[in-house]
């Protein structure tokens, strides 16, 4: 069906308590159902979307009472993309923890967290289809190829609470990774600002003096002949932070199509690795009821098998 014009014109929407702490892009996607996510980002980037009269970024967090200017948009047909029962069952079996405030899922590698960039649906869409009528919002994100712990809020108050923790760096985040080469010491803390490469449509980031402050702590777990199995602790939360900092050390992650060289990708494929070796295995946060909670997601078989090959 051809796109059609939304005839409502410009709308001014007041943010309710349930949406406090939500990212602007996610808020708009919910308000403009059927609008491609790429179009949502274009509206924000070109200043068509305003918060309290001012321009904002996609990652801007909303406050209760904010007034969001939403322009008219071209929408797809009314019928949404149906997520298969197989995918929905996969996500049901991937639930790590659930209560009235939050849902923790062991996100499968290769599954985007939301639709966009040519993808008709993402994890959040699949869960919403599986749980019609329920409140579900992403508290943070993981790269499409990264597996592991992903937290979703189940009500507005929980979203505000969790979003503030992620934004303020109060959530402790630990990843398992395999690095090309041997770490020269058991613990390395990288304190190097990161910025997007200018004119780079691929979304690469690199160490740059004018970038955003970024810190990652790598801890060696095991050394092999030509690689290091390590835990990476995110001390800040920038896009591709672990991947870019590993490359900065000259130890790009195994299977990383964006930051590793082609020869290393070929070698890892021969060892059975067909994805980036990066897994969000542990999160520690304060739940909305005030208690500290720790969540773990075991290393998936696809990555465990690579370690088994290295250990032979």
Residue 143 a catalytic site member: yes
Residues in a beta bridge with 172: 284
Residues in a beta bridge with 107: 148
**Identified catalytic residue from 101, 143, 168, 308:** 143
> Do the Cβ atoms of 298 and 281 come closer than 8 Å?
yes
Among residues 168, 158, 156, the alpha carbon closest in space to that of 64 is found at 156
Active-site positions read 143
């Amino acid at each position: 069906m051809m796109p059609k014009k939304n005839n409502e014109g410009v709308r001014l929407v007041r943010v309710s308590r349930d949406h406090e702490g939500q990212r602007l892009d996610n808020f708009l996607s919910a308000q403009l159902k059927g609008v491609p996510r790429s179009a949502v980002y274009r509206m924000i980037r070109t200043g068509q979307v305003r918060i309290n009269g001012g321009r904002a970024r996609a990652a801007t967090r909303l406050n209760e009472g904010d007034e969001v200017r939403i322009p008219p948009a071209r929408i797809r047909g009314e019928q949404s993309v149906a997520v298969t029962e197989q995918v929905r069952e996969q996500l049901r079996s991937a639930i790590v923890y659930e209560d009235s405030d939050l849902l923790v899922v062991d996100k499968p590698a290769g599954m985007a967290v939301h639709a966009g960039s040519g993808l008709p649906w993402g994890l959040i869409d699949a869960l919403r289809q599986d749980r019609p009528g329920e409140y579900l919002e992403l508290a943070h994100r993981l790269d499409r190829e990264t597996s592991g712990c992903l937290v979703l809020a189940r009500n507005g108050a929980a979203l505000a609470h969790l979003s503030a923790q992620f934004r303020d760096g109060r959530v402790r985040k630990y990843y398992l990774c395999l690095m090309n080469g041997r770490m020269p010491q058991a613990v390395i803390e990288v304190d190097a600002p990161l910025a997007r490469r200018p004119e780079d449509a691929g979304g690469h980031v690199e160490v740059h003096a004018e970038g955003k402050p970024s810190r990652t702590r790598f801890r060696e777990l095991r050394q092999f002949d030509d690689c290091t199995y390590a835990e990476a602790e995110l001390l800040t939360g920038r896009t591709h932070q672990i991947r870019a900092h590993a490359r900065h050390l000259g130890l790009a992650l195994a299977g990383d199509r964006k930051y590793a060289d082609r020869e290393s990708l070929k070698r890892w494929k021969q060892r059975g690795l067909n994805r980036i070796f990066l897994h969000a295995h542990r999160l520690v946060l304060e739940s909305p009821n005030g208690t500290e909670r720790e969540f773990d997601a075991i290393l998936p078989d696809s990555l465990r098998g690579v370690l088994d090959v290295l250990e032979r």
